Structure 1
Amino acid sequence: MVSSGRPWGNTGVPGIYVVLLYDLLVAMDLDAPALLEGLGISRDELLAPDRRVSMALAQTVAERGLAMAGDRGLGFRYARAMSITLHGPVGLLALSSASAQDALDAACRFLGLRAPFLVIDYARHGEMAHLKLKSTVPLGVAHDFIMEAMLVGLAFMVEQLLDAPPEGLEIRRRSPPPAYWREMEADIRVPVLFDQQEEALVFPQSAMAARPRLADPQVAALAREQCEMEFRQWRTEEDGVLAERVRTTLQDHTAPMPSLEAMAERLSVSARTLKRHLQQAGLSYRQLQDEERYRQAKRLLGNRRNSISEVAYSLGYNDVANFSRAFKRWSGVTPRGFRERDSAG
């Protein structure tokens, strides 16, 4: 069983990325079947085109892979094994875009479809562009593996798009040089700087005008249409998932209910992001708070040893009349009417 308490939540990760890790462990002569042991899923099932796994499961797999590979540069090896075509329509859109800037814009917009735990912050500093990777949730012991794989993978993708990395392209890592770095350095045609202030790909802004070698407007239009369809479906699912996480978290709270800002911090998102996702799901944080208060009120009123005033105070109301008005708004009857109806039933 995978613990539901993992910080990554429930938003899905494409199963093909787990398959890639599995096959990489096979190539490293490691016990790849142990990667999926007890998780209720097989490699063949993960090959299905639309198959996704929970991020909790993905984190478990990443941690197991790291434990098996030890100090052998799993992130670099994973990036080296990752082809741009592995990303489906997102990769196809990047390959067929009219310019490197268009490909980058597509990556920024659609990254959540492939790595829902990361965002790209694109900024210019003088003549240089900085493509910064930031995690939206705690990544635990898999953090360095993921950043390593993503940044080196992005550098390899630039090379696949343009045949050669642009002059001045470099990778910046916050972490110190790992022990395996010297062994991997020769396989990467891009300088990697450690002990930096950011996790980023840095390159001359002028490189954004370069034309990918497989640029094709018809293919790009079809790939974008596929990406947009998948994006709409993903956002709808993500909004619902976040709303359920709020409901679950509120169930652990009696009065006072956490504020929107406190809840956002608890879920490792910004208050603005939480509010937006709830709105897109047709909800508000106030609605979810009231929903939980109503659930708790019914439970407390069901115990007749609790007076109505005690129930009101336990839910954070300083005035019984305010509680009675709120309860009538939720249920259509007053707390006293609810008890009388409950007794009659």
Structure 2
Amino acid sequence: MSLVCNIEDQKGFVKQKAEALSLNIQQLKPMIKFLIMQGVDLPKLLEGTGIEQHHLIHRDISIDAFQHQRLLLNAIKHAPDMSFGAQLGVQDFINNDSLLASRVMSCDTAGEAMHLLSDYYKLWTNQFSLNFEANERWGEFSITPHIDFGATLPFYIEYLYAILYSFGCYCLGEKSVPLIFEFSYPEPSKSAYYGKYFSETVRFNQEKNRVLLPKPLLERKLVFSNPILAEENDKTVKTQMEHIAPSDTVSRTRALIQKNALSMVSLEHISAQLCMSSRSLRRHLQAQGFSFQTIVDQERHDIAKKLLSSNKQTIQEIAILLGYNDASSFSRAFKRWESASPKEYQLQQHQKS
């Protein structure tokens, strides 16, 4: 299976975009085989898809987004067991491996692994955004579709959830993990299988599709943790990501710096909020051409200009707010940024106004 085709919903059907990616028929065969083994009639499964039975003996036929979506709608209509999305997710986890999976497995902790997956998810799917944030109680891993999938959304969400849950249990060396799974859609008439493929706590009709991870779990060390392999795989993963999109570790680091008082900001403090080690955060930032101190200085620079322009606080007060020990240290830094002292900058802004 694969979740890498671009599709858009239109009047209940999905219309292929001009730039849509095609799938090789090999990627759909696991689902077709699985449903036939469950007793689904093959002609009914292929009805209206433009896929012929004889196509299934070939290995090099391309299937467009419309055909893929039509196949899913037929599968939902005729499948005797609606857990087929979750079952295929578990099978996908068992039968497939990837560079991204290897890189995530080699993380130090579960929290670091979740952040890494949200950074590099575009190597896995371009139909959804995966995002991870942590607070004092929970880690929240959310899955946001880029388009309206209509009746096929449960399949995709349960497929993704099953892969993530199976992968998580594997990396922690556990048969089950106490997570909370939330679904944006109503509870199906037959929902007993959710406890089998996910944890016992599932919630329907929620605002978004997300998984909640208890804070202690985020600090658990992964059984496959391997800093050396992680560093080696990072290079290849980042090279692949350069062809898709840059990592957003920099933006998340910047956002956390903005949320915290600059006088209290440190590499250790921010990396803890990102559920990774200081060394890992430093390595991620360096890979994007940044250092932690560079980002902190950029934020100090921007805030300093705003505060000096407002002329509501003394230079000493601004220095303390920005985390400097004294006004002299702040003045030296500001002169390096603007080639002018804080007082000179204030005067220039006053003259402009």
TM-score class, shorter: 0.5 to 0.7
Offset of 1:210 from its aligned partner?
Answer: 1.9
User: Is 1:12 equivalent to 2:24 in the alignment?
Assistant: no
Residue 123 (structure 2) aligns with: 113
Matching residue's letter, 1:63:
L
Residue 58 of structure 1 is aligned with which of 64, 68, 91? 68
User: Is 1:151 equivalent to 2:161 in the alignment?
Assistant: yes
The DSSP-based 3-state class of the residue aligned with 1:20 is: helix
Q: Which deviates more, 61-70 or 111-120? A: 61-70
State how far apart, in whole Å, the 2-side matches of 1:180 and 1:24 are: 19
User: Is 1:195 equivalent to 2:205 in the alignment?
Assistant: yes
The DSSP-based 3-state class of the residue aligned with 1:177 is: coil
The DSSP-based 3-state class of the residue aligned with 2:28 is: helix
- After superposition, residues 227-246 of structure 1 pair within 5 angstroms as 227-235=237-245
Offset of 1:21 from its aligned partner?
Answer: 1.8
Residue 253 (structure 2) aligns with: none
Describe the shift of the 1:209–1:125 C-alpha distance in structure 2 as closer, same or farther (beyond 3 A). Answer: closer
State how far apart, in whole Å, the 1-side matches of 2:41 and 2:239 are: 38
Offset of 1:212 from its aligned partner?
Answer: 1.8
The answer as to whether partners of 2:176 and 2:199 remain within 8 angstroms in 1 is no
The DSSP-based 3-state class of the residue aligned with 2:144 is: strand
Offset of 1:25 from its aligned partner?
Answer: 1.8
Matching residue's letter, 1:120:
L
Q: Which deviates more, 202-211 or 14-23? A: 14-23
Residue 38 of structure 1 is aligned with which of 40, 50, 63? 50
Offset of 1:7 from its aligned partner?
Answer: 5.0
Offset of 1:12 from its aligned partner?
Answer: 3.5
Residue 221 (structure 1) aligns with: 231
Offset of 1:115 from its aligned partner?
Answer: 1.7
The answer as to whether partners of 1:12 and 1:54 remain within 8 angstroms in 2 is yes
The answer as to whether partners of 2:139 and 2:213 remain within 8 angstroms in 1 is yes
Once the two structures are superposed, residues 80-136 of structure 1 have per-residue CA deviations (whole angstroms, 9 ceiling, x without a partner) of 323166251111212222222232122112222222110023233541111111111
Once the two structures are superposed, residues 293-312 of structure 1 have per-residue CA deviations (whole angstroms, 9 ceiling, x without a partner) of xxxxxxxxxxxxxxxxxxxx
Once the two structures are superposed, residues 50-104 of structure 1 have per-residue CA deviations (whole angstroms, 9 ceiling, x without a partner) of x986544432332232233155322222223231662511112122222222321
TM-score (norm 1): 0.56
The answer as to whether partners of 1:79 and 1:153 remain within 8 angstroms in 2 is yes
Matching residue's letter, 1:91:
A
The answer as to whether partners of 2:87 and 2:162 remain within 8 angstroms in 1 is no
The answer as to whether partners of 1:84 and 1:91 remain within 8 angstroms in 2 is no
Describe the shift of the 1:98–1:45 C-alpha distance in structure 2 as closer, same or farther (beyond 3 A). Answer: farther
- 5+ residue gaps in structure 1? 237-345
Identity percentage of aligned residues: 12
The answer as to whether partners of 1:63 and 1:141 remain within 8 angstroms in 2 is yes
State how far apart, in whole Å, the 2-side matches of 1:52 and 1:219 are: 35
Matching residue's letter, 1:206:
P
The answer as to whether partners of 1:83 and 1:157 remain within 8 angstroms in 2 is yes
User: Is 1:103 equivalent to 2:97 in the alignment?
Assistant: no
Matching residue's letter, 1:78:
L
Matching residue's letter, 2:98:
G
The DSSP-based 3-state class of the residue aligned with 1:151 is: helix
State how far apart, in whole Å, the 2-side matches of 1:169 and 1:135 are: 21
The answer as to whether partners of 1:174 and 1:196 remain within 8 angstroms in 2 is yes
The answer as to whether partners of 1:169 and 1:191 remain within 8 angstroms in 2 is yes
Q: CA RMSD in A?
A: 3.5
The DSSP-based 3-state class of the residue aligned with 2:211 is: strand
State how far apart, in whole Å, the 2-side matches of 1:93 and 1:162 are: 15
The DSSP-based 3-state class of the residue aligned with 1:134 is: strand
State how far apart, in whole Å, the 2-side matches of 1:213 and 1:189 are: 20
The answer as to whether partners of 1:13 and 1:114 remain within 8 angstroms in 2 is no
Offset of 1:184 from its aligned partner?
Answer: 4.7
Q: How many residues get paired?
A: 231
- After superposition, residues 1-345 of structure 1 pair within 5 angstroms as 6=14, 9=17, 10-12=19-21, 15=24, 17-31=27-41, 34-35=45-46, 38-39=50-51, 42=56, 45=59, 54-69=64-79, 72-83=82-93, 86-164=96-174, 168-235=178-245
Residue 315 (structure 2) aligns with: none
Describe the shift of the 1:35–1:226 C-alpha distance in structure 2 as closer, same or farther (beyond 3 A). Answer: farther
Matching residue's letter, 1:231:
M
TM-score (norm 2): 0.55
